[in-house]
């Protein structure tokens, strides 16, 4: 609070006191009191009032600073009312009591919402694990079907698995500290595992993978990193061109970070849509034209990357291809996560 704000807040009282002192002065002068005495009284009253005014300002400002310090020290800001000291006056205590009741009601609502969210998340995770069994059984049944129906069924089952995985990681992203573990792992292992997971999709889409030197250690959670890379491989397959689709995966050290680059020669992304590709639910013209897009894949990639401390950037030229760059954090940066 500034001194100008304090004056503005008490402007009505100041004007009223000036009017009262003016009225008192007029009464004293009309009753025969010497003007010198009246002026002396006015000066004394003004000095007393200014002193009290300054003391009130200092007290209010220090009290606000104390409250701001308490608030800034809380991780859960809605517990502020539980931590502040009792006000000195009866009116302020009554007002504080009303606010405290409001805060308690809000805390109860937040607790209920968190409990409901936790139950829903646990249900989603349970459902995901249960649905994987019939998907696996359906894949085994496909092996006994003729080649063309088998190819189409396998492709559809792969899409179902992809949607299921996205649902699982979306639920887990709400409580990341309970699911991911940061450790040192070779980048080549992550890329190889991801390619193996999506081998069928890549083969059916006719995509050729070209990899450079990936023998670098990175600090991340391999399961989450595989999911992120898998989303880009799925997009490459979905938005590839008919003739000789290629995906190039390479890595290089830049200062203290390792940059993993995934580039393709697909249909690309229109320039005006590029700033929105990470928005939740955004499908874009390509997604609407080809169908089946939920707009959640890249949104989850950005969300999970932020949790892992990975800087994610994407560039694209329409009709030429897309390039994705993931900057893995250095070991000394992990303490900030």
From 61, 83, 105, give the residue that closes a domain.
Answer: 105
What is the 8-class DSSP label of residue 333?
G
Percent of the chain past pLDDT 90, that is, above it, reads 13
Q: How confident is the model at residue 325 (pLDDT cuts 50, 70, 90)?
A: very high
**If we measure between CA atoms, which residue out of 269, 231, 262 comes closest to residue 324?**
262
Q: At what angle do helices 147-172 and 297-308 cross, to 10 degrees?
A: 40
Q: What is the pLDDT of residue 248?
A: 93
Q: What is the reported pLDDT for 289?
A: 76
Domain co-membership, 48 together with 195:
no
200 shares its domain with 318: yes
Do 91 and 184 fall within a single domain?
no
Range 275-304 average pLDDT: 81
Question: Domain tally for the chain?
Answer: 2
pLDDT at 332 over 60: no
* Per-residue model confidence (pLDDT) at position 53: 85
Q: Is the pLDDT of residue 122 over 70?
A: yes
176 band by pLDDT with thresholds 50, 70 and 90: low
Q: What is the pTM of this model?
A: 0.62
Residue 246, pLDDT above cutoff 70: yes
- CA–chain centroid gap for 336, Å, is 16
Q: What is each CA distance from 179 to 70, 255, 331, 337, in whole angstroms?
A: 32, 30, 20, 15
Q: Taking a C-beta distance cutoff of 8 angstroms, is the pair 258, 286 a contact? A: no
Query: 116 in a domain, yes or no?
Result: no
Rounded to an integer, the average pLDDT of 246-252 is 92
Strands 311-317, 183-186: pairing kind: unpaired
The string of pLDDT tens digits covering residues 47-103 is 988 898 888 888 888 888 888 888 888 777 767 777 777 777 788 888 888 888 887
Judge whether residue 139 has pLDDT over 70: yes
Residue finishing a domain among 105, 135, 165: 105
Q: What is the mean pLDDT of residues 139-148?
A: 74
Do 69 and 190 reside in the same domain of the chain? no
Range of the domain at 273: 180-336
Q: What is the pLDDT of residue 311?
A: 92
Q: Provide the pLDDT confidence category of residue 292 given band limits of 50, 70 and 90.
A: low
Q: Point out the domain boundary residue: 88, 105, 122.
A: 105
Q: What integer pLDDT is reported at residue 178 of this predicted model? A: 61
Calculate the average pLDDT of the chain: 83
């Amino acid at each position: 609070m500034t001194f100008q704000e304090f004056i503005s807040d008490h402007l009505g009282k100041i004007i009223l006191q000036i009017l009262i002192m003016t009225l008192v002065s007029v009464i004293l002068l009309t009753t025969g009191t010497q003007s010198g005495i009246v002026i002396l009284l006015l000066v004394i009253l003004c000095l007393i009032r200014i002193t009290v005014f300054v003391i009130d300002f200092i007290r209010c400002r220090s009290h606000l600073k104390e409250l701001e310090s308490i608030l800034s020290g809380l991780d859960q800001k809605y517990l502020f009312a539980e931590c502040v000291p009792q006000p000195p006056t009866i009116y302020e205590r009554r007002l504080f009591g009303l606010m405290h009741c409001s805060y308690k009601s809000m805390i109860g609502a937040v607790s209920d919402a968190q409990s409901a969210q936790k139950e829903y998340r646990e249900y989603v995770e349970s459902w995901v694990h249960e649905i994987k069994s019939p998907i696996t059984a359906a894949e085994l049944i496909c092996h006994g079907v003729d080649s063309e129906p088998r190819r189409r069924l396998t492709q559809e089952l792969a899409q179902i698995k992809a949607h299921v995985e996205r649902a699982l990681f979306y639920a887990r992203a709400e409580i990341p500290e309970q699911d991911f573990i940061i450790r040192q792992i070779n980048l080549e292992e992550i890329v190889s595992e991801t390619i193996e997971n999506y081998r069928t999709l890549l083969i059916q889409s006719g995509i050729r993978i070209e990899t450079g030197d990936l023998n670098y250690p990175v600090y991340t959670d391999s399961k989450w990193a595989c999911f992120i890379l898998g989303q880009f491989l799925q997009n490459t397959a979905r938005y590839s061109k008919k003739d000789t689709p290629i995906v190039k995966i390479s890595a290089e050290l830049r200062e203290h970070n390792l940059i993993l680059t995934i580039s393709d020669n697909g249909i690309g992304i229109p320039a005006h849509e590029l700033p929105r590709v990470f928005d939740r639910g955004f499908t874009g013209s390509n997604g609407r034209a080809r169908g089946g897009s939920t707009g959640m894949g890249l949104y989850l990639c950005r969300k999970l990357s932020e949790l892992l401390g990975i800087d994610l950037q994407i560039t694209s030229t329409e009709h030429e291809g897309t390039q994705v760059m993931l900057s893995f954090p250095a070991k000394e940066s992990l303490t900030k996560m």
